[in-house]
């Protein structure tokens, strides 16, 4: 890239515009499965700033936003990608699982306090989506200022359905598959196929691999009976038995993580949900109680292997407690995936990061978060992930507040990194990149 083009692009990074985008995106509700309004906003903003953009509907409620800055065709196609859906809905449906009440940061209403913007998803994913949008805007403006042209296309993808959710809890919704990378998969299937991709998600480092995930239903069987007959009939409470299994699983997850920690990942597991019995009628016990598990997968661990490990462990539990009757049913599987650390997209991403940070990049291990980067890598697209660090001063134990807060200063750093990387890639002939000479 020329010095003039880079300088013109970096000079256009405006904290006020970043704040405006963060506020605008945060103030539009976009729970998984209902992202069309936010995608439409992003299309309008990109178009207004000189980026050819379009809405890409998945159905009447769910849509991606897709933008493209065309090059001459001699360079690689690079995708800058971020999801736009929030993990929770910002409605009464989140209570009581999220807490006794909805705090202000859990609502899709942006609040500004200096450089901080808070509101549902302000940090993850909307602050990152805002940075991707801003990067496209400043590059489009810099190209117009300098009269230069890219060699490879720069594609912007803001994707629906990026959260680890199957069916959403939305009024009148009967869809069964709206998350787990639905928008990213659709994007690729509908003609957007880059040579490499960059996913903007939390973490101020360049990541070249991530975990996948597998969901399992562990059903613990018991005997359906009545409290008034407990002392007169055979009694085996599936809920009480499930409690034994939960505790043993929680211990096993730590052993599992230790065995599979390597590279950049430390795959964790949790029991995230339980179903059994009737709240309207606690006078009787259910015939079964089902636990739903999220078990993260190293790129070196297949879903089938993880299932065998889980079954082997549960056989041990049943040997310890012969009265337990347990079934396991796989529910979902997305394999982990990796990109060669020395691939040109990873090397150039670290170079861009170092230029912004002013120091040497160091890999950050121990990750267990999954993103749409796994969708891209599993389709054979070399992909790296880079994002913002946790907001300084935010309570480390408050997961939701970390998701719902973004620092405009950190947005500016991430945007600068994305701009540098995009210009580096899209102004270099593909042959030079592949040969390692450019």
Q: pLDDT, tens digit, for every residue of 48-99?
A: 999 999 999 999 999 999 999 999 999 999 999 999 999 999 999 999 999 9
The pLDDT value given to residue 172:
77
Q: Which of 186, 193, 189 is nearest to 58 (CA)?
A: 186
Give tens-digit pLDDT for 407-425.
999 999 999 999 999 999 9
Residue 273 phi, psi (nearest 5): -155, 155
Instruction: For residue 114, give the DSSP letter.
Output: T
pLDDT computed for residue 2 by the predictor: 73
Residue 29 corresponds to which tokens in the numbers above? Answer: 């509700």
Structure tokens at 69: 């800055």
**pLDDT attached to residue 176:** 86
Name every residue whose Cβ is closer than 8 Å to that of residue 299 and which is 6 or more positions away in sequence: 209, 210, 211, 212, 263, 265, 335, 336, 337, 338
Please list the residues that pair with 235 across neighbouring strands. Answer: none
Contact (CB, 8 A) for 125 and 83: yes
For position 396, what pLDDT does the model report? 61
Kindly report the average pLDDT of the chain as a whole number.
95
Q: Could you give the CA distance from residue 245 to residue 219 in angstroms, rounded to a whole number?
A: 10
The answer to whether the predicted template modeling score (pTM) of the entire model surpasses 0.85 is yes
Whether 433 and 344 have beta carbons less than 8 Å apart is answered as yes
pLDDT in the model for residue 390: 85
Instruction: Identify the pLDDT of residue 169.
Output: 67
pLDDT score of 393? 65
Task: Tell me which residues of the chain have a pLDDT lower than 70.
Answer: 1, 169, 393-396, 437-438
Contact by Cβ (8 Å): 410, 388: yes
Q: Tell me the C-alpha distance between 222 and 320, whole Å.
A: 17
Q: How many CA atoms lie within 13 A of 359 on its CB side?
A: 5
CA pair distance 226, 218, nearest whole angstrom? 24
Count other C-beta atoms under 10 Å from residue 112's C-beta: 15
Estimate to the nearest angstrom the gap between the alpha carbon of 320 and the chain centroid: 38
> Position of tokens 């013109």?
8
- Peptide bond before 71: cis, by omega within 30 degrees of 0? no
**DSSP at 229:** G
pLDDT at residue 438 in the model: 60
- Pairing relationship of beta strands 78-83 and 154-159 according to DSSP bridges: parallel
Query: What pLDDT score was predicted for residue 374?
Result: 97
């Amino acid at each position: 890239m020329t010095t003039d083009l880079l300088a013109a692009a970096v000079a256009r990074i405006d904290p006020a515009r970043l704040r405006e985008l963060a506020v605008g995106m945060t103030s539009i509700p976009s729970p998984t499965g209902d992202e069309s309004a936010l995608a439409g906003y992003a299309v309008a903003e990109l178009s207004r700033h000189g980026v050819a953009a379009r809405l890409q509907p998945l159905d009447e409620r769910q849509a991606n936003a897709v933008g493209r800055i065309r090059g001459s065709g001699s360079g690689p196609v690079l995708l800058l990608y971020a999801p736009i859906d929030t993990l929770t809905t910002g409605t009464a449906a989140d209570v009581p699982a999220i807490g006794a009440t909805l705090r202000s940061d859990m609502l899709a209403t942006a609040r500004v306090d200096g450089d901080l913007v808070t509101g549902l998803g302000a940090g993850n994913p909307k602050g990152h989506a805002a940075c991707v949008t801003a990067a496209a805007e400043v590059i489009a403006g810099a190209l117009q200022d300098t009269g230069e042209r890219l060699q490879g296309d720069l594609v912007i993808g803001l994707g629906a359905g990026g959260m680890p959710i199957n069916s959403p809890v939305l009024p009148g919704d009967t869809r069964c598959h709206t998350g787990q990378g639905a928008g990213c998969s659709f994007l690729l299937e509908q003609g957007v196929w880059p040579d490499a991709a960059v996913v903007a998600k939390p973490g101020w480092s360049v990541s070249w691999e991530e975990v996948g995930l597998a969901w399992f239903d562990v059903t613990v069987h018991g005997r359906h009976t009545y409290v008034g007959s407990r002392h007169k009939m055979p009694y085996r409470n599936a809920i009480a038995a499930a409690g034994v299994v939960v505790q043993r699983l929680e211990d096993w997850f730590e052993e599992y993580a230790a065995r599979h920690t390597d590279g950049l990942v430390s795959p964790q597991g949790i029991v995230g949900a339980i179903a059994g019995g009737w709240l309207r009628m606690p006078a009787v016990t259910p015939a079964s109680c089902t636990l739903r598990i999220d078990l993260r997968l190293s790129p070196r661990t297949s879903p089938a292997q993880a299932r065998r490990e889980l079954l082997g462990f549960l056989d041990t539990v049943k040997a310890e407690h012969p009265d337990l009757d347990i079934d396991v049913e796989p529910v979902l599987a997305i394999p982990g995936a990796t990109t060669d650390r020395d691939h040109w997209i990873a090397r150039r991403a670290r170079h861009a990061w170092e230029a912004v940070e002013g120091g040497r990049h160091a890999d950050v291990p121990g990750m267990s978060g999954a993103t749409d980067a796994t969708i891209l890598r599993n389709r054979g697209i070399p992909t790296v992930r880079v994002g913002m660090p946790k907001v300084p001063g935010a309570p480390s134990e408050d997961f939701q507040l970390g998701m719902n807060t973004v620092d405009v200063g950190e947005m500016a750093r991430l945007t600068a990194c994305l701009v540098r990387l995009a210009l580096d890639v899209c102004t270099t002939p593909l042959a030079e990149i592949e040969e390692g000479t450019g």
